Amino acid sequence: MGKNVLIIGASGDIGIAIAEQLAMEGYQLILHYHKNKYSIEQLKQKINQESILLELGADLSSEIEVNKLLDQLIYPIDAVIFASGTAHYGLFQDLTVDEMHSMLALHVTAPLTITKKLLVPMIQKRAGKIIFITSIWGSVGASHEVIYSTVKGAQNSFVKSLAKEVAPSGIIVNGVSPGFIDTKMNQHLLEAEKQALISDIPANRSGTPNDVAHTVLFLLDEKSSYIQGEIIQVTGGW
């Protein structure tokens, strides 16, 4: 049997691509989703049913639901991939306190809470992998996406610092930082806006969810075991 991988945000475009790739490689999957149960059902039609150990629905902006999710993890976890999240567009001055708290809970508090829980058995086994899907905006920042840039920057810092702390215990922590990826998160952009972005990308195309998934697969492989605390850019040179 393959290793058990918890995918937080398995119903998003990138989460689905990661799940498909891992299933093909023989990993056993625990799939988290929030509202998009339909995407999970569609995913199940594409991959071997035996690859799925659990499906867990939870709103990660709720502390109660995060704890409920953790209570339902009845299988040992060899790796966790954080691919969940949502963007927020608009002027920072128009951001409400509730929106701020929700973004911080979803992208920072929940992933840290889940990681803290999973670290104990990983350290006991002296093995485990933690991967965050962050964003190019977490490194360079984006106008009109200040809160999103902020929480993704927090994820980058968490990866770098936690990696140093747990490396002696055999735990590997890394991040994957996508650039402009063709997902539903970017559907708000007009076609002309997309083309303007692509014109700034040396690879001359938008990225795909599979571009991100292939990088995650590499980081899960033992051949990448000396990569630690890195934020790998998947940006086409943007």
DSSP 58-82: --TT-HHHHHHHHHT--S--SEEEE
Give the per-residue pLDDT at 222.
94
Backbone angles phi, psi at 2, to 5 degrees: -80, 175
Rg (CA), the chain: 17
Give the per-residue pLDDT at 238.
86
Query: Which residues, in sequence order, are CB contacts of 43 under 8 Å at separation 6+?
Result: 10, 11, 16, 19, 20, 31
Model confidence, pTM: 0.94
Closest CA relative to residue 134, chosen from 115, 158, 169, 166: 158
Give the per-residue pLDDT at 184.
72
Per-run averaged pLDDT (10 residues), the chain, 238 residues: 92 96 96 93 91 96 96 97 91 96 97 98 97 95 94 98 98 96 74 83 90 97 97 93
Query: Cα separation of 181 and 14, whole Å?
Result: 9
Give the per-residue pLDDT at 1.
57
Q: Which domains does the chain have, with CATH numbers?
A: 4-234 (3.40.50.720)
Residues involved in catalysis: 148
Structure tokens at 149: 């840039």
Give the per-residue pLDDT at 188.
67
